[in-house]
Amino acid sequence: MANGVESRDWGSYPSSITFNVKGPRGGGGTYAACDGYPAGEPEVACSCTGQESGTVWGSGPYTADSDICTAALHSGYIDNVGGPVFAVGTSGLDSYRGSELNGVTTRDWGSYGTSFVFDWNR
Is residue 12 situated within a structural domain? no
Is residue 10 situated within a structural domain? no
Q: Is the dihedral of CA 92, 94, 100, 101 positive or negative?
A: negative
Is residue 54 situated within a structural domain? yes
Query: Which amino acid belongs to residue 45?
Result: A
Query: Distance between terminal CA atoms of the chain?
Result: 23
Model confidence band, residue 100 (pLDDT cutoffs 50, 70, 90): very high
Rounded CA-CA distance 18/105 in Å is 30
Of 90 and 18, more confident: 90
Is residue 4 situated within a structural domain? no
Is residue 3 situated within a structural domain? no
Is residue 51 situated within a structural domain? yes
Compute how many other C-beta atoms are within 10 angstroms of the C-beta atom of residue 88. 16
What's 64's domain CATH number? 2.170.130.20
Residue 51 pLDDT > 70: yes
Range of 64's domain? 28-118
